Structure 1
Amino acid sequence: MTRLANYWRKLTYSKKFNFLFYFIFSLFVLFVVATNFIFIRGLSKQEYKNNQDNILTIADTIDEEFISLEFFTYKVIDNAHIQSLLARLNLGNLPFQEEVQLKTKLRDEVYTLSSYEKNVNSFYLFDAEKENLESNLFSSIIFFDGLTSSDMINQLGNQPQKGKWFLSEDGTRAVLARNIFSTDTLDLLGTIIVSLDTSFIVNTIRNTSLYSSDDYFIISYEEKNYPLENDLPKIVKDFIENTVFVNNSIETIGHTDYFIASGSFNDGKMNISGMLPKNKVLQNIILLETIILSLFFLLVVSMIALSQHFIRSLVSPINQLAKKMSSFDKDKNDFQTLIEEKDSTMSERPDEIGALYSNFDALITEINQLIEENYQSKILYQEIQFRALQSQLDPHFLYNTLDSINWLAVNQEAMEISDMVTSLATLFRRKLSNTNPLHTIAEEIEIIDAYLMIQKFRFGERLCFSYHIDEKMTDFVIPRLIIQPLIENSLKYGLEKMNQACSISLTIIPLDEKHISISVLDNGPGFLNSQHDKRKSSGVGIKNIRERIKLYYGKKAELNISSVAYQETIVSILLPADFTEV
């Protein structure tokens, strides 16, 4: 648990928001899926029930016809006149004329009763000896599938009963055979066989809108199944012949699942079963589920997109502020960029994020002001020291003294001393008398010439100095004394530490349209750590030069040092070319 808590604390707010969202969203999805499953299951049960109810309605319709036919036979066997005619015919040895008359009356009587039965296809009467009363030529009649009237009568026996049904193999015909007994003596008088046209069953089924040509319907009677259609596929036919149909069950034939719905009729002796393709039974539900899942998918995608947008809008400002703070921590001197990148829309927000941005911007502005004040204080302090040095010397007294020495040297024909004194006077005049903090490169070169003239007397041929200055650069304005201290450093840390000659060169050229390059090169021992050199030269020093050019030019100016001992040490200054006014 502690490890999990530590892992949670280390996560970013973005990841925490995403984790919480997806956790809650997963619970929501599980709830919706479970609800949808229960809903679809309930609809499926209802759809199965609707189909079952429809089968029961069909069974009731069939039952009405079968009951009507049985009632017709009951009227026939209960008719006293018919019983009387049959009794007389069973006596035998009747004159032919009388026998014909009796048979005609008997047939007319039955026809009269059958005229109200629309589905009675035909009927046949037989006497107690199983003789056909309709024809003198054929005592037995073949009905279907090799089944004869004699076979039916034999199966009835000699005991009173409601009769027995016989169905054709293809289910298109049904026959009811029923014995006729005397109501007085209970003697067997004969048999009536009625043929029923079962096409009304198929018509009843097909008139139901819930079913299609892909459905199969079967009548089951006495443990045998009779399909109501011909030309069945062999796999379906084999299945029907060998299956005991169970109501509300699912059976698989090949790769198709069928829903079995059954209904009984004829006092439960017969069943009609429908084999309905499951995918068609649930077709509307499948369509509904597809629509629900599609809408749910769109909802999920929309919720994820909206949540990600919301999380980004909530976390992005915090991440941006953290990035600003991180950059501030890495470069504590680069406050100007942070100030320039201030986003007023964020600091003006009325929420907590707006307060964070506003306070951070105020903090950066205040720190930048303090840094600028600190830099200005340092430069002011150096200027005050410089001014103090100037004020300690009386320039006029110093220049007059140097002039006196120069004239004395000239009178004594000591020209070297005269040149040295002249250079020293020029150096003092440029350094001490001019109070302007800026001057041209040409004026800086005059100071360098005077300084080198003095040093030449000291080092002689060991000092080798050369210029490489673009003529266009002489009028370029720079801060005073940012080049001469570099020459002074080359002498102090290069020439003074060498026994052989030291080559020093000054190069001032335009680098491109926006920058100029000032570089001092020598072949002295160089610096141990050129990129982070902190030593001070005589005079203002390299550190002072860095601070002064940063004060004047900001980030547009650079001072870089590269050094390879006794080969090449370069101190270069990169200045913007658009700084031209004093």
Structure 2
Amino acid sequence: MGKLFHSITQFYRNLRIKLKLFIMLFSIMIGCIMLTYGVLQYAYSIYDRQIYERSSQVLNLTANSIENELRGIENTSFNIAIDPTIQSSLNALRADPSEMNYERHKIRDDIIVRLVQSAGSEKYMATADIMDLSGNIISAGREAIWTEEYKRSIWNEASLGEGKMRWMLPMEGDPYLVAVRLIRSYNSNLRLDLETLGVLVVRVRINEVVHNVAAGSELASGELLISTGKGLIFSGTDSLVGSQQDFLQKPLAKPYEVRNENGHKIFVSQMISGYTGWIYSSIIPFDSIFERISWMKNLLIAVFSASMLVIILLAFRVAQGITGPIEELIGRMKQVQKGDFSTEGIADLTVGNNLNKDEVGQLHRTFRIMIQQIDELIHENYAKQLTIKETQFKALQAQINPHFLYNTLESINWEAKMGGQPQISRMVESLGFLLRNSISQKESIVTLGQELDIIRHYLTIQQTRFEERLVYAQDVPQHFYSCPIPKLTLQPLVENAIHHALEPMVNPCHITIRAREESDHLLVAVEDNGPGMAPEMLERVRRGEVQSKGNGIGLSNIRERIVLAFGEGYGLEMESEPQRGTRVLVHIPLERKDSHV
């Protein structure tokens, strides 16, 4: 019996994968079950999301309708504030605030008439009052209780708006929403002199606005709550009281969510107004819309959970027989991914008893052969690279000895000094310095201070040519001088500034190098006040489509050298505007060169 079982197992291991998959047809039935479950779950999720989105849409429409009404009231208040009759009357009251006579009574009556005419056009405007500079109230409509503290709060709130409408929470016991606006004077030519004449106070029937807008919508069966984040403006619910309303006076983490309040689940959708900044919340009992769906979901979960247990037991052994060899091969591939191309770890693959004869076994053998060939190619390529480097080194040795040039320049320098030509001497010294740095291959990374020395010597030569047309400035703190930077990074940028900014200009060109710390980077900027570039040209330069003049180093070359030296987090960027100059920003590490690896 044991031998028979071993023979059957060995036979199965040597079957082709196509035959193994045929044995797994039973798994297709399980897949169909899972697919059905997934489709149902997807359908339920879409249905749930549509309900959520529909609720949010209704809330958005309701909020927009309410705020359209408020905008109309705001427009009416603006018309009242700029009304010529009210402007002239308030100016007259401001001229002599202490005198009480017939003229002042007539002026107040004129203001009341204009307020009644203007407020009558808005059905939701309960009252329109004006408080003059003396604190006197001119009312059109039902009079409110005006305490000195209330007057001060209104004046302070209106002052914060600086002429714009400001909304205030209703007073305790007052059902009206309050809107205030400063009234400022202007002359007959419509030029504002912004002298404060008083405060316009409008009371709005917010309850009527909300009820009329929500009538006939789905919110009529739910409950609506409006809050400023500091207090309630409107609450259409009596079931949520006290601290239970606190969570609706602040923005929710999501546009909608389900919460437990008083032992009942409620569906809450919320939006924040971009016009007033108010928080609109709608509250709908969860059970009324999701009870049946929840029951169906629970039933499906129970059925499919039982099915999954049976499926797992049947499919485990079949899947193990197929995926086992493949997982072993994946493990070998990961070793190669880490750079290990040796065949020591896969030497056991040569033992025939450990390998199946199906496609996976053949894949193992082919993989081993491929690794051997790749390893041979790597060693061969490494040997070729060594040969190339040796050839390049010999070619450099065959070039003219730079010491001959140094000695020649030194002779010219002494001749200039002996001949009383200090300017020529400085130019020759700077040229020698630049020649040594450009030819020297000892270091590809230098300090920022060394790079600034290269620029100083380069500009010594250029200032002899351009004289007062070239103005150079440097704002680099001393403690940044030891930061590492690829050699000849800033000098080509200064050279570009001379070619593209200084040469086309008639006026002096200012070239400035600045450095500042930004997060964990050092930001070095090369700026000029040249003609700048149009946006199209700037975009072409950023993409590397514009070649540098002459044989200079291009921006793409500089950017690539910085990335190769320090990584992808560093590099170069350019900013420019027509007639505003150009600025090139270089991002390098903020560290000392002696700690750079």
TM-based fold match above 0.5: no
> Structure 1-normalised TM-score?
0.41
